[in-house]
Structure 1
């Protein structure tokens, strides 16, 4: 059964001026689960203008009141947690366990920023002159345009919108067309909270459509002051260029090709679990997923055998059945992964496991693929340089730790890197020398804490501002310095 949804603009659910709609499908079964408007640039402009009209009133709303709205939204999300989990599974394909964890994360994000809205401000500094107060105030930057991906359809829009709202900005958010339903439910929770507490119409707006029509219109509107984007490198670079050409504040988090180094001191079983979870969890559809595995010569062959065994034992199926791994989100994403299997074979890498589409029985109508493991790979191969965004790893070996660090850094990207080791010296050398925004020791490259900064280096990020925690609030504010001579 599918439901029809609309845009949310100026405190109301509204149809698109186009009158056109599109279907959202369950990637495991092909069934239609929701219908949304195919919005236009004019729809986006209407949302931006509503946000601009509401901005001053929202900025002047006391921080504790803004926090109360976020808290009431979080409470409603918590009450509807089972529904949100089911929706996320049906439209994105995550397993039920993965979806439930993401939903809980989004709830926690709203609760976190609800509390931070009460105490986030500037700092007081001692003046060099007597009879003077010297302090800073953090003020909202204005209207925030948020463009989010499909792979974390509730967590990422939450960690962008909640800090923006907490700091007094108004928001126009464009979800990905593959998975807009989950956050539409969050918008409904916000609408109920806003009606209860009293919020200016237009504080939070939600417009569904293509990046070409809706995304570009949001970025290009003169009333938008800041743009935050998460998605592919190619699109992110265009977003950053468009936003900065108009002198807007811009923040982009893009793809990566994340390594995990395994040292001789590592426990083999733990290393396999860490790499397998980082590579094949959420079907590899995470910008922090492990794709480059760098294993010491002395344990390379045994590690490969054990990772193959790990992959063989994964249960693949519909997320509603809560298997170990669900489907790709779409046919296009599935075909992209299969194309990279062909690329690896043509590059003379050795396909030691997987790489096939699953089509029989329960898999017939879905976008299922086996986890894929390549060996005999070189660092400069395309499959080791380009983000695959599927359950796909290449395994390299090394003999010297300097070589391992060099291989880990030998990519254009720099989001998340891991090392599995019981050698304290090697762990700390890796922390120091890895060119990545996130470095993990004895943990998988995926998975994040919500109260610490998140972001990449090199081609993974604009390297302007970080997301999450207090850093997420810093992005949406500007500092005013006050000299008060009394």
Structure 2
């Protein structure tokens, strides 16, 4: 089946936008790896994988850049990120258009992703004057003890298709002000966004004037390219975003050479709708969290626990919202749900729905919306489940919301925590005790725990990440910058004696 006649060519639009962004045409034409837009199913580019020898040379060049960049004062490094933020503001609409064409996000979400890049640049510029250590009380007289933070080295970044530019920027903006060059391996599904971002960054580099060569580089390819990045001895930190299976492969490889792993992996996020909740607020929060980005966020709401006393009314209203949500070309005004990334994602969704039916689930939605043979649009699905079965406990990267009843808050929290993942969570309640319990030590076991907002849509000011099979990494705001630096403890003796800690005595005879 051909794409409907009213869908504009993604290939034509991609060529125009990449041209405006200044991406060298030779980088995205004539290569062996096809890039298919989920919007229309068209092949919009043919990129070249980076040869493994070139990957190694790119890392060596980045390491040489590190040796120079670590000596640049941090506020000066921040100036580069300030200029990059300016270039992102100028390129916002075009870069967002590439995100839409390559990842399938609706226009407002694509623009929001680029805005997230701008926001983290602003954060990083301020951070460049706040890379501080502590002065620590010492038991020895005439001594001072302190901690200092130093640049770490080349940072490898492996990003996923669903946030093809923002997650890179969470890492790179902080890493660069911390003194670390970055080598970026984007998802094979979204290489164009990486090439476009690199072109924008190079404009900032040209304005900056005296940055060393190799501060930021993009390497393209499949698993073997990622493995070359992960295994290189001159990459002391790899930040990898993707599936739990990917994390299980990356983590041990890094541990084998004692490198650092910053892992952002799967999420199976839940929300609890309590009897006292503002149900209109909850409905809107659930709708965005469950259907936004066609269910392809790591923070997407996948499990919903509704109190039995309000279940019928709330779930009825939610079903009506699901039935009416506009699904279609993400470039068109009014559309709220765009395509799944590819056929494998669609097949995975259909398998999970079949498994849910077999486990007693009642399914509304989930059917394909025909928009072309190679484009995979679906109606978001609500699945009312009799309990939290195995299918509910696994993450399916698609717009499936499993809905279950609960009776008391302790039960709901236990159900929420009874999955392998631990990324994001939320509760909708106006009961102060329930809210405080939810964010307490015996409440949500996730890295993100929200009250009266959904689990999806984090701001850059807070550290982002989760526990358990989500990997334990933290990126973006708060003190996440420490992951990109090495800590040293320093003790300075400004006296004339040499007292030892813990009262140790070690007297030697000295010459008269």
Structure 2 partner of 1:144: 155
Partner of 2:405: 397
| Structure 1 partner of 2:285 | 274
Aligned to 2:424: 416
User: Counterpart of 1:55?
Assistant: 66
Partner of 2:367: 356
Question: 1:35-46 maps to which residues of 2 (within 5 A)?
Answer: 35-46=46-57
1:160-239 to 2 correspondence within 5 Å? Answer: 160-197=171-208, 198-210=210-222, 212-239=223-250
2:449 to 439, 442, 445: 439
Where do residues 224-263 of structure 1 align in structure 2 (5 Å cutoff)? 224-263=235-274
Rate the CA distance shift 1:449–1:48 in 2: closer, same or farther, 3 A.
same
Q: C-alpha distance in 1, partners of 2:390/2:313? A: 23
Q: Which shifted more, 419-428 or 27-36?
A: 27-36
Query: Do 2:271 and 2:455's aligned partners in 1 also have CA atoms closer than 8 Å?
Result: yes
Shift of 1:5: 12
Deviation at 1:73, TM superposition (A): 0.9
Decide which of 445, 450, 457 is 2:467's aligned counterpart: 457
Structure showing greater Rg: 2
What is residue 294 of structure 1 aligned with on the other side? 305
1:114 deviates by: 1.9
Q: 1:23 to 1:201 in 2, by over 3 A?
A: same
Change (3 A) 1:440 1:417: same
Distance in 1 (CA, whole Å) between partners of 2:224 and 2:54 is 9
Which residue among 378, 398, 413 is the counterpart of 1:369?
Answer: 378
Task: Measure, in 1, the Cα distance between the counterparts of 2:305 and 2:376.
Answer: 29
> 1:459: how far off?
1.1
CA deviation map 1:234-284 (0-9, x unaligned) = 111110111111110111111011110111111222222211111001111
CA deviations on 1:312-333 (whole Å, 9 max, x unpaired) are 1110111111411111111211
Which residue of structure 2 lines up, in the alignment, with residue 468 of structure 1?
Answer: 476
Instruction: Quote how far apart the aligned CAs of 1:217 are.
Output: 0.4
1:425 matched residue in structure 2:
433
| 2:390 pairs with 1:381 | yes
Alignment of 1:70 with 2:81, yes or no, is yes
Q: Secondary structure at the match of 2:255?
A: helix
CA-based RMSD of the aligned residues comes to 2.0
1:14 shift after superposition: 11
The answer to whether the 8 A contact 2:17-2:94 is kept is no
Partner of 1:340 in structure 2?
352
Measure how far apart 1:126 and its partner are: 4.5
Q: How many residues align?
A: 472
Secondary structure of the residue aligned to 1:80 is helix
The residue number in structure 2 matching 1:119 is 130
The CA deviation string for residues 397-447 of structure 1, in whole angstroms up to 9 with x for no partner, is 011222111111111111101101111111111112111110011101101
Tell me the distance in 2 between the aligned counterparts of 1:21 and 1:199: 33
Distance 1:363 1:299, change over 3 A: farther
CA distance in 2, matches of 1:245, 1:135: 31
TM-score (norm 1): 0.93
Distance in 2, matches of 1:25 and 1:251, equals: 29
CA distance in 2, matches of 1:329, 1:181: 15
Counterpart CA distance in 1 for 2:17 and 2:31 is: 12
Q: What SS is found at the alignment partner of 2:100? A: helix
8 Å Cα contact 2:113-2:166 kept in structure 1: yes
User: Is 2:458 aligned against 1:448?
Assistant: yes
Q: Identify unmatched segments of 5+ residues in structure 1.
A: 7-11
- Which residue number in structure 2 is paired with residue 9 of structure 1? none
Unaligned runs of 5+ in 2: 1-11, 495-512
Corresponding position: 1:328 with 2:350: no
Q: Which residue of 1 aligns with 2:4?
A: none
CA distance in 1, matches of 2:468, 2:374: 39
Shift of 1:33: 2.9
Query: Separation in 2 of the partners of 1:259 and 1:110?
Result: 30
Mapped contact 1:109–1:158 kept (Cα < 8 A): yes
Q: Determine if contact 2:17/2:97 at 8 Å carries over to the other structure.
A: no
CA positional deviation for 1:157: 0.5
Distance of 2:183 and 2:386 partners within structure 1: 44
Q: Do the aligned partners of 1:358 and 1:364 also contact (CA within 8 Å) in 2?
A: no
CA distance in 2 between counterparts of 1:436 and 1:195 reads 42
Please tell me whether the aligned partners of residues 268 and 302 of structure 2 are also in contact (alpha carbons under 8 angstroms). yes
